[in-house]
Amino acid sequence: MIEDKSDFEKVVDFGNLYQAYLKSKSGKGFSKSSQKFQVATLDGIHQIKRRLETKTYQVSKYNEFTIYEPKERVIKACSFVDKIVQHSLCDNVLIPKLSKEFIQTNYAGQIDKGTLYGLDCLKSQMYLAYQKYGYDCWIVKADISKFFYNIDHNILKDIVGYFIEDKDVYWLCEKFIDSTEGLGLPLGNQISQVYALLYLSGLDHFITGELGVKYYGRYMDDFYLIVQCKEYAKWCLSAIYEFVYTLGLELNDKTQIIPFKNGIKFCGFHTYVTLDGKVIRKLKNENKRVAKKKFKKMVGLVRCGKLSKDKFYESYNAWKNHISHGNCVKLGYEMDRYVEELFGK
């Protein structure tokens, strides 16, 4: 009879590390770190396995750079070896074990979920809330201030330790948590996404359990509640302020209580219900402006030969597909004319 492997044995299993290597090199065929590793792949995987088993593994220094779209953020990319270790840890232990703890309406960073799933859940919840409460209910729209940058390492280690019983897996989890100094997690890493989901999972259960909120959803640090009356909304928001404080976090200034009739801006769209109960989803005005600015810049690159027209339309058609998930037919026609005018100048 073959004994079940421990969680740490799953992480350091050669086959699992090899699968993690294959996933890690996907889309990275021309990076220097992945090319160097591929020269002696099997030996490299054996070295990773040995370093993990002997507890001599150390997280390498991150490659730090800044991106400016959709907003300015500092990305800290891990080394190729660290990416392999993260894949094996996350894919074989953390995700299977922790995903069972996440509520259904925690939308980010999980298989078969994402922004579109979140938008569809919101649409369904708004319709149900309208049917149950009518047009006079209320929405709490909240956002965690600088969430990724303010995650407390000690609090996170306590939370991870509650769910991870294998002391060797916990040792490895700690390595990644403490791979940067001070508060926060490095953006751009698989394990940071998992930790971020876990860090606010308690908030999800608090809102849907302790507070008894039926219509709730969260995409990373952005979340909403739909409740029957304004006083209850105020009470819930006060309790949420206190809960996030225990995590070393704060709600930002954009947090507000709004009438149901105003709708809600979430995951790039403005979703609202008409008087006759129809749920409408339209692209946020600020996202329209960003798209116009982006396409104008790209057309300029096409004109000066720095971008092919095919590449432009690849990006443009992806955007058209994105807005097709909303009631945006008119916007699509307007943007078509705008792009034609840009190329016609």
Q: Is the pLDDT of residue 3 over 70?
A: no
Q: Assign residue 217 the CATH number of its domain.
A: 3.30.70
Q: Is the pLDDT of residue 98 over 60?
A: yes
Burial letters 299-336, b for 16+ CB under 10 A, else e? beebeeeebeeeebeeebeebeebbebbbbeebeeebe
Residues 276 and 302 in one domain: no
d(CA 83, CA 319) in angstroms, rounded, equals 30
Residues 122 and 268 in one domain: yes
- 185: Cβ–Cβ under 8 A, 6 or more apart, which residues? 148, 151, 156, 177, 192, 195, 196
* Structure tokens that stand for 20 in this block: 């993690």
pLDDT tens for each residue of 51-71:
999 999 999 998 888 877 667
**DSSP track, 299-328:** HHHHHTTSS-HHHHHHHHHHHHHHHTTSS-
Per the structure, the complete domain to which residue 130 belongs is given by 115-145+200-281
Q: Is 3 exposed, middle or buried (0-12, 13-18, 19+ CB in 10 A)?
A: exposed
- 48: Cβ–Cβ under 8 A, 6 or more apart, which residues? 17, 57, 81, 84, 85
Query: Is 109 strand, coil or helix?
Result: coil
Residues 81 and 227 in one domain: no
pLDDT of residue 29: 47
Please say whether the beta carbons of 292 and 246 come within 8 A.
no
Lowest mean pLDDT among 151-155, 248-252, 284-288, 340-344: 340-344
Residues 216 and 141 in one domain: yes
pLDDT of residue 317: 95
d(CA 136, CA 259) in angstroms, rounded, equals 7
**In the structure, what pLDDT confidence band is assigned to residue 39 with cuts at 50, 70 and 90?**
low
Residue 1 located in a structural domain? no
Residues 294 and 218 in one domain: no
Of the chain, the percentage scoring pLDDT greater than 70 comes to 94
Among 192, 208, 223, give the residue marking a domain's end. 192
Residue 110 located in a structural domain? no
Among 228, 254, 281, give the residue marking a domain's end. 281
Residue 50 located in a structural domain? yes
Q: Is the pLDDT of residue 190 over 80?
A: yes
Residues 264 and 333 in one domain: no
Residue 184 located in a structural domain? yes
**In the structure, what pLDDT confidence band is assigned to residue 37 with cuts at 50, 70 and 90?**
low
Please say whether the beta carbons of 110 and 99 come within 8 A.
yes
d(CA 11, CA 175) in angstroms, rounded, equals 14
Residues 167 and 135 in one domain: no
pLDDT tens for each residue of 194-226:
999 999 999 999 999 999 999 999 999 999 999
Question: What contacts 24+ positions apart, CB below 8 Å, involve 281-286?
Answer: 281/119, 281/123, 281/325, 281/326, 281/327, 282/326, 282/327, 282/328, 282/331, 283/323, 283/326, 283/328, 283/331
Among 161, 192, 223, give the residue marking a domain's end. 192
Residues 11 and 97 in one domain: yes
Residues 216 and 184 in one domain: no
**Taking the CA atoms of the chain, what radius of gyration do you get in angstroms?**
23
User: Which whole number is the average pLDDT over 102-124?
Assistant: 92
State the total domains in the chain.
Answer: 3
Residue 106 located in a structural domain? no
Residues 315 and 328 in one domain: yes
Residue 209 located in a structural domain? yes
* Structure tokens that stand for 190 in this block: 């698989």
Residues 124 and 245 in one domain: yes
Residue 2 located in a structural domain? no
Residues 93 and 14 in one domain: yes
Closest CA to 188 of 75, 64, 68, 71: 75
Residue 109 located in a structural domain? no
